[in-house]
Chain A
C-alpha cells in the first residue's frame, strides 16, 4: 500500500470530498436549529429554512412597506457601486504610483517611504477623520476603501515592477526605447496581470472596509442592512445577506481570474 502522502483522490472523489464539509455544516445547522425551535418556537438565533425563504422573499421580491423599494437589490446596488468606485480608483492610483516607484529611482526615493508610512496607518482609525472631513455621504465610504487598500496595491506593484528582469529593461534600451516607452511597452503591460492578482487579494479587505463604513453611517447598503436588523435579532435576514455577500465576493473574484487568464495567457501559462 502506498504511503498516505502519495495517494490521490480521483476526480469524483475530489468533488465529493470538497463538498463534504459544506454538507456536514448544513446538517449540523439543521439539527441545532430543530432542537432549539422544538424547545422554543419563537427562537430567533437559529431560524429554520422556511424562515430564510420568507425573509428572502420579503427582502428581494416584495417592495418594502415603508419605502416601496426592493431592499436586497437597492442594498446590493449601493454596496457594489461603492466597492467598484473604491477598488477602481485604488487600482488606477496604484498602477500609476506603483509603476512610477518601481521604474524611476528618483520617484521611488521620494514616494516609497511615504507609501510605506501610510500603509502602516490603521484605516479604521481614520474612519472618524473621514466622516469629519467628507461628511456622512458616499465619499467617506469610498475613501475608506481607498485608504485601506491603495498602499498595499502600490507596494505590491512597486515590488513586481522591480522584479521585472533587468535583462528586459536593458533589452528595451538597446532597441532604442526612452524611459516613457519602457513604461508603456514593458512595465505597464507586464504589470497588468499582477494588478488583477493584487486586486483579487485586496477584495477581502475592501469588503471589510465597505461594511464597516456602511454599518456606521449609511441609508442603504448590504452592511447597513445587516447592522440595522441586528437590533431585532433578525438572523433570518442577516444570514442570507452574509451568504449573498459571500457569493458576490466569489463571483467578482472568479470573473477577475477568468478575465486575467483570457487576456494575459502569456502570464498564466508560465506557471503563475
Chain B
C-alpha cells in the first residue's frame, strides 16, 4: 500500500487556486524532491502533508486513511530556520522527543530514563557529526550545524515520513554538498520516506529517487491565481536527459516571471 496518496487534491484560498487536481502515490522508502517556482504551491503542499492546512477538495491519504489534521509524530520536519529550540542545548534538543514521550506531564525525565535518553541522543549527535557540540546552544552553532542538529532532533523520533522545507537553502555550496551526503546516508540507514522541497532544480536532480516539478500548465498572465499548480513532471532521478532539465528550467522560469510581474 502507498504510504502517501493524493486523490484529486485541490487547495484554494478564496478565488486563488494554489494546487489543482493532484493525483499521486508515494511508496514507503521513496525520496521525493519537489521543485518549482516561488508561489507555485510547494510550501502549501508541505503544509498539507504536515496537517497544518487541509485540502479544499479531494483527499490526502496516509496509509490509506485521511491524514491527521494536525502535526504529529508520524511526520518529522526540518525547516529552513527556527527548526531547533533556541533555549535548549544541542543535547537537550535531541533528548526532547524522548522526554516528551516518557513524561507526559512534566516533559522532563530523571534517573535511569534520563541516562538512557542521554546515551541515545549522544549517539545520534555523533552520527550527524555534532559530537563536539553537545552542550552548545543553537545560536553558537553555524547554519550547517544547526541543520544537522535539526535532522538529529527529528530523526531520533524515527518518524515514518521526513519533510524537508528548503533545509539547505541558506547554506554555502560546500556545506550543502556535505548535508546532501548526510541526508542520503540517514535516509538509507533509517529507511525513511522523504519529501524535500527545494527551489534549486539541480539539487532536485541530484538527490533522491523521484523528482516532482510543481508548475502551472495553464497560466493566465493577467490572473496567475486563476489556475493552480500541478505536478507537471514526475521523474525517476538519474534517469532523464539533459533536454528535460532545460525544458523544465525554461517552463519554471516562465511561470516565476509571470507570477513576479503581477505581484
Q: Please tell me which stretch of A76-84, A177-185, A244-252 contacts chain B, meaning at least 4 of its Cβ atoms lie within 8 angstroms of it.
A: A177-185
- Which A residues are in CB contact (< 8 Å) with B233? none
Would you call A174 and B137 a contact (CB within 8 A)?
no
- Which B residues are in CB contact (< 8 Å) with A173? 70-72
Q: Are A266 and B81 CB-contacts (below 8 A) given A174-B72, A174-B73?
A: no
**Contact pick for B157, options A168, A176, A181, A184, CB 8 Å:** A176
**Contact pick for A170, options B52, B87, B96, B157, CB 8 Å:** B52
Flag whether A202 is at the interface (Cβ < 8 A): no
Q: Which of B85, B101, B157 has the most CB of A within 10 A?
A: B85
CA distance A190 to B137 in the complex (A): 13
Flag whether A270 is at the interface (Cβ < 8 A): yes
Would you call A176 and B137 a contact (CB within 8 A)?
no
Flag whether A189 is at the interface (Cβ < 8 A): yes
- B169 → chain A, closest Cβ, in Å? 14
Would you call B139 and A178 a contact (CB within 8 A)?
no
- Which B residues are in CB contact (< 8 Å) with A177? 100, 107
Would you call B107 and A185 a contact (CB within 8 A)?
yes
**Contact pick for B71, options A170, A180, A267, CB 8 Å:** A170
- Which A residues are in CB contact (< 8 Å) with B52? 170
Would you call B85 and A186 a contact (CB within 8 A)?
yes
Flag whether B77 is at the interface (Cβ < 8 A): yes
Q: Which of B39-85 contact A (CB under 8 A)?
A: 50, 52, 70-73, 75-77, 79, 81-85
CA distance A264 to B89 in the complex (A): 12
CA distance A269 to B76 in the complex (A): 28
Write the A251-272 contact mask toward B (1 if CB under 8 angstroms, else 0).
0000000000000111101100
CA distance A214 to B30 in the complex (A): 72
Q: Which of B239-263 contact A (CB under 8 A)?
A: none
Interface of chain A, main secondary structure: helix
Would you call B77 and A170 a contact (CB within 8 A)?
yes
Query: Which residue in chain B gives the minimum CB-CB distance to A180?
Result: B105
**Contact pick for B100, options A165, A185, A265, CB 8 Å:** A185
Flag whether B106 is at the interface (Cβ < 8 A): yes
Flag whether A175 is at the interface (Cβ < 8 A): yes
Would you call B87 and A264 a contact (CB within 8 A)?
yes
Flag whether B144 is at the interface (Cβ < 8 A): no
Q: Are A167 and B79 CB-contacts (below 8 A) given A180-B105, A189-B87?
A: yes
- Which A residues are in CB contact (< 8 Å) with B153? 171, 175
Query: Which residue in chain B gives the minimum CB-CB distance to A189?
Result: B87
Interface of chain B, main secondary structure: loop
Would you call A175 and B157 a contact (CB within 8 A)?
yes
**Contact pick for B77, options A171, A181, A264, CB 8 Å:** A171
The number of chain A residues touching the other chain, given as a range, is 20 to 34
Write the A167-211 contact mask toward B (1 if CB under 8 angstroms, else 0).
110111111111011001110011000000000000000000000
**Contact pick for B73, options A170, A175, A186, CB 8 Å:** A175
Flag whether B196 is at the interface (Cβ < 8 A): no
- Which B residues are in CB contact (< 8 Å) with A180? 105
- Which B residues are in CB contact (< 8 Å) with A176? 72-73, 97, 100-101, 157
- Which A residues are in CB contact (< 8 Å) with B79? 167, 171
CA distance A177 to B72 in the complex (A): 8
Would you call B139 and A168 a contact (CB within 8 A)?
no
Would you call A266 and B139 a contact (CB within 8 A)?
yes
Would you call B71 and A174 a contact (CB within 8 A)?
yes
Query: Which residue in chain B gives the minimum CB-CB distance to A178?
Result: B104
- B4 → chain A, closest Cβ, in Å? 16
A-B complex: 6 closest residue pairs judged by Cβ atoms: A173-B71, A167-B82, A165-B82, A175-B97, A185-B107, A266-B137
Chain A residues proximal to chain B, CB less than 8 Å: 165, 167-168, 170-178, 180-181, 184-186, 189-190, 264-267, 269-270
Q: Can you identify 18 A-B contacts, CB atoms within 8 angstroms?
A: A167-B81, A170-B50, A171-B85, A174-B71, A174-B73, A174-B76, A174-B159, A175-B96, A175-B100, A178-B104, A180-B105, A185-B107, A190-B86, A190-B87, A264-B87, A266-B87, A266-B139, A269-B139
